[in-house]
Structure 1
Amino acid sequence: MEKRVALVTGASSGIGKATAIALNQAGYVVNGVARRVALMDDLEELGIKTLAMDVTDEKVMKTQVEKILATEGRIDVLVNNAGYGSYGAVEDVSIAEARRQFEVNIFGLARLTQLVLPSMREHQFGKIVNISSMGGRMWTPYGAWYHASKFALEGFSNSMRIEVAPFGIDVILIEPGAIKTQWGLIAADNFEEASSHGAYATAAKTKAANLRNLYQNGKLTAPEVIANKIVKAVTVRRPRTHYLVGYGAKPAVAFKNIFGDRLFDWLIQKIM
């Protein structure tokens, strides 16, 4: 059987890099894309193809997808992993930054999906894996724009799943908990930059420090765990629609579902 072809965004680090490696080991032809190509040199050494791509640049996305299709003839698996967390008080975060959060976490993802779908429909096969978060099913203070983007991704994915199912295409949501990557440290930096002055300054300092402490915790889930879950999801005949996995994910969502919003608000405020 001809090898399946995968496209993984955000492949320069964390979950994206681990997923590109895991799919390569599983026998896929893997194309890893990211803004910082130099950080993917180690993937090239493993036989993974790497390309420069910024998911907010439609022209580049179109060019690179066309290049992959011209070379491989198809794209069977799309892992939409590129994203980041914009933290800060709603009052402090600029609308320009809020738009950027959605451009990266939603609109870029959606446009890339549009570019890949025709090939999947033509071959009557496809696996679209959208990396959401437990933050698409619960919330934290000062993360309004990040959570909004992930809640949006959940609704987007659930609706699209029904649309594309007749063409043999699955849409799969991966909802990681706290993962041992740079995500939390970057979010903490964004938090301090947005809210280090004014009415929320004290909270910003304390909660950014807590976020950094959390993401330096040795108990966090390794990105390889998420990567292996993704490989499983794209290789089984009938994947689950949602995979809630990683440190804190299942307990946090279960607590919110069982005890309701007010108790969850109290708990998450204490934790952060």
Structure 2
Amino acid sequence: MADKFAIITGASTGIGFELATLAAKNGYDILVVANEPLIDAAATDFKQFGTEVTSIEADLSTFDGVDRLLAAANGRRVDLLCANAGHGLGHAFIDQQPADWRFVVDTNITGTIYLIQKVLKEMVARNDGKILVTGSIAGYIPGAFQAVYNGTKAFIDSFTEALRNEIKDSDGVTLTTLMPGPVETEFFARGDMLDTSVGASDNKSDPVDVAQDGWDAVMGGKASIFSGWKTKLQGVLANVTPGSVLAEQHRKMAEPGSADN
């Protein structure tokens, strides 16, 4: 058993998979979770690095799913939490089913902040621990045809900034927000966005690079990081560009059928 323990959510594929790989490589015992059976196959890959790996399939959009995850830690102190689980949803808001957009809200916001609250409270009590939360540059942009998803990431980007201020006297605890742009993962297929310009683009970031940026930032105690210079530039420009302009730009990327234009 290692002397360091990490929980990584959304670890079956994409950024979460790469973060779990980095944690195991760096000597952490890890508890990995996703809402699909693929998490068990991913766990087999992580075991090659010689640390203890536990996997659990759970729906982190629910309090029960988060509680089951934490119970699987068997009382171990959480030294690192990578709160990466998230879900996207494309198409016009008025055409989306309420159950679908609620799942996005509950996964990206409700379950995420419930997990953070549970873990962070113990970290602050002992004044030691690191949390990496996957936000997004999408939180800076009114997301036409991804309105709910971008709204949830706006919440996460704002929430984590506020939370850093609340815990600033706990100098042994760090909370880092990772804000990537579009990443080459299953996100676009799962969100039914493969027919969009952004979903079909070959110019998305590599999840290996994004995870490394997040890892370096959280290990360095940074408050936040935009992954990639293009994403950082987007973040800067978003602060000075009218919301209506940003929404129209996003429409051109995310409107169904835009991949054909």
Establish whether TM, by shorter chain, passes 0.5. Answer: yes
**1:194 matched residue in structure 2:** none
Q: Which runs of 4+ in 1 moved over 6 A?
A: none
| Counterpart check, 1:81 vs 2:84 | yes
Cα deviation digits, residues 203-239 of structure 1 (max 9, x gap): xxxx83423321xx1x422111122122212222xx3
* Number of corresponding residues: 247
TM-score, normalized by length of structure 2? 0.84
**Structure 1 CA distance for aligned equivalents of residues 30 and 224 of structure 2:** 23
Name 2:40's counterpart in structure 1. Answer: 38
Mapped partners of 2:81, 2:164: distance in 1? 14
Segments of structure 2 that go 5 or more residues without pairing to the other structure are 255-261
Task: Report the AA paired with residue 135 of structure 1.
Answer: A
What whole-Å deviation, never above 9, does each CA across 1:14-54 have from its counterpart, x for those lacking one?
00010011122122222222222333222234335132132
The answer to whether residue 200 in structure 2 is matched with residue 213 in structure 1 is yes
Conserved 8 A contact 2:141-2:250: no
Q: Which residue of 1 aligns with 2:6?
A: 6
* Per-residue deviation, 1:139: 3.1
Which residue of the partner structure matches residue 73 of structure 2?
68
Alignment deviations for residues 178-214 of structure 1 (CA, whole Å, 9 cap, x no partner): 1121112222x2x5xxxxxxxxxxxxxxx83423321
Matching residue of 1:231: 215
Aligned ranges 1:100-179 → 2 under 5 Å = 100-167=103-170, 168-179=172-183
Counterpart residue type for residue 212 of structure 2? N
The reply to whether residue 253 of structure 1 matches residue 235 of structure 2 is yes
CA distance in 2 between partners of 1:159 and 1:98 (Å): 25
Q: Equivalents in 2 of 1:3, 1:234: separation in Å?
A: 18
Contact 1:86 1:101 (8 Å CA) reproduced: yes
Aligned partner (choices 226, 236, 246) of residue 244 of structure 1 = 226
Match of 2:259 in 1: none
Query: Does the aligned pair in 1 maintain the 2:214–2:227 contact within 8 Å?
Result: no
Distance 1:155 1:265, change over 3 A: closer
Alignment partner, residue 19 of structure 1? 19
Provide the secondary structure at the position in 2 that maps to 1:181: coil
- Structure (1/2) with the larger helix percentage: 1
- Quick one: distance in 2 between partners of 1:121 and 1:267? 41
Corresponding position of 1:50: 54
Q: Could you say what the CA RMSD is over the residues aligned between the two structures, in angstroms?
A: 2.3
Q: TM-score, normalised by structure 1?
A: 0.81
2:257 match: none
Q: Is 1:180 aligned to 2:178, yes or no? A: no
Q: Using the alignment, how far apart are the partners of 2:13 and 2:126 within structure 1?
A: 30
* Identical amino acids, percent of aligned pairs: 24
**Distance in 2 between the 1:153 and 1:39 partners?**
29
CA contact (8 A) 1:177 1:249 kept: yes
In 2: Cα distance, 1:131 partner to 1:222 partner: 15
CA distance in 1, matches of 2:248, 2:95: 23
State the Cα deviation string for residues 50-85 of structure 1 (Å, max 9, x = none): 321321232342243234253xx3101111101111
Query: Given that residues 175 and 218 in structure 2 are in contact (C-alpha distance below 8 angstroms), is that contact kept between their aligned partners in structure 1?
Result: no
- The residue matched to 1:68 in structure 2 has which SS? coil
